[in-house]
Amino acid sequence: DVQMMNRVKEIKSVLGDRLFIPGHHYQKDEVIQFADATGDSLQLAKISASAQEAEYIVFCGVHFMAETADILTSNAQKVILPDLRAGCSMADMANIHQLERAWSVIQEQFGDTVIPLTYVNSTAAIKAFCGRHGGATLTSSNAEPMLKWAFSQKARVLFLPDQHLGRNTAAKMGIALEDMVVWNPIRNVFEGDAVHHLETSRVILWKGHCSVHEKFTVANIEACREEDPNITILVHPECPYEVVTHADISGSTQKIIETIKQAPDGSSWAIGTEMNLVNRLRQAYPKKHIRSLNPNMCPCLTMNRIDLPHLLWSLEAVLQEQPINIVQVDEAIATEALQAIERMFSA
């Protein structure tokens, strides 16, 4: 490992400004130590867009983030994902064929009253669809203003692919749960008794979720509070509605970090988000009592596919000027996806 770390340092110093390594907060310590910038999804999108001098962007995150970086950078810049299997199970829950199919039912039902909004945790093709239909992207740190913006455009919002972020954000804005309906993309129907609410519905939630954040439960919260009545529960808004409403605070990974940074020494926290971030916060603030909300820790297996050997392997290839694992979005899709992303930046 020491040998590998030294080699990464060596390659980084040889390549200098030609190389830029963004790292998401969920990445492992062995990887994040080499990141030139760390951030949540929104910050990493902005940082990638501004890294204009870098010929190679070796993205330590998951596939949709690398796609977004490619969309936001020039054609001359190459975006590399150290392991192409580092996808996102949530992004995989919405494919463009399902969306086209859903859209025709939605159009039939609601006419031209719906605007599509997609969480950045989605494929470039889904983002392009949103761009093409007047919609936008959003992240967990701007979900509320983006939903407000969407309602300034149309009476209804199709929110995809994360039903939980959609429901949590809409509820926070005062929209009643009865005014949200769930679309099942596998069966191509509205879920449950939604048909009775279609007329009054304002938000159509795509039935997708994050397999990591769905593992946090109300029972976990109760167990933590029983053990320590002074504990504060801090969760990511990809957690289910009941968990977010029972928690004390919810927010993006960046908000979680800021909250812990400002917390007084001696305070107790149970955090409902990916394991690497929770562990890192615990190490960084030993005087604060920090634990995972779920004792099983909850790793994001796909984020974890980016490890030191894969990082080094991709950097060696860059050094040889023979880059591997390039993520390149089709130009027509990239152009429309960019519209959706730019609407987010300027909303």
Binding site for ligand SF4 (CB under 6 A): 62, 88-90, 121, 210-212, 238, 274, 300, 302-303
Nearer to ligand SF4, 27 or 232 (CB): 27
**Number of other CB atoms surrounding residue 97 within 10 Å:** 9
- Say how many CA atoms lie within 13 Å of 168 toward its Cβ: 26
Helices (H) and strands (E) in the chain, counts: 14, 15
* Span near ligand 13P by CB under 6 A; candidates 137-145, 147-155, 193-201, 310-318: 137-145
Q: Is 298 annotated as a binding residue?
A: no
**Nearest-CA neighbor of 344 among 143, 194, 73, 185?**
143
For ligand 13P, the binding residue among 27, 168, 220, 252 (CB under 6 A) is 252
What is the Cα 31 distance to its own chain's centre? 19
Q: Is 24 annotated as a binding residue?
A: yes
List the single partner that 73 binds among ligand 13P, ligand SF4, none, CB under 5 to 8 Å by kind. none
Write down the residue that tokens 């504060």 correspond to.
Answer: 232
| Contact mark string toward ligand 13P, 28..47, x via CB under 6 A | ------------xxx-----
**Nearest-CA neighbor of 269 among 303, 257, 40?**
257
For ligand 13P, the binding residue among 253, 276, 314, 325 (CB under 6 A) is 253
Residue 57's beta-bridge partner residues?
A: 20, 79
User: Which of the residues 187 through 226 are near ligand 13P (CB under 6 A)?
Assistant: 210
- Say how many CA atoms lie within 13 Å of 330 toward its Cβ: 9
List the single partner that 211 binds among ligand 13P, ligand SF4, none, CB under 5 to 8 Å by kind. ligand SF4
Token pair listed for 245: 């409403």
Residues in contact with ligand 13P by the rule CB under 6 A: 25, 40-42, 88, 121, 139-141, 210, 238, 252-253
**Annotated binding-site members for iminosuccinate:** 24, 41, 119-121, 140, 236-238, 253
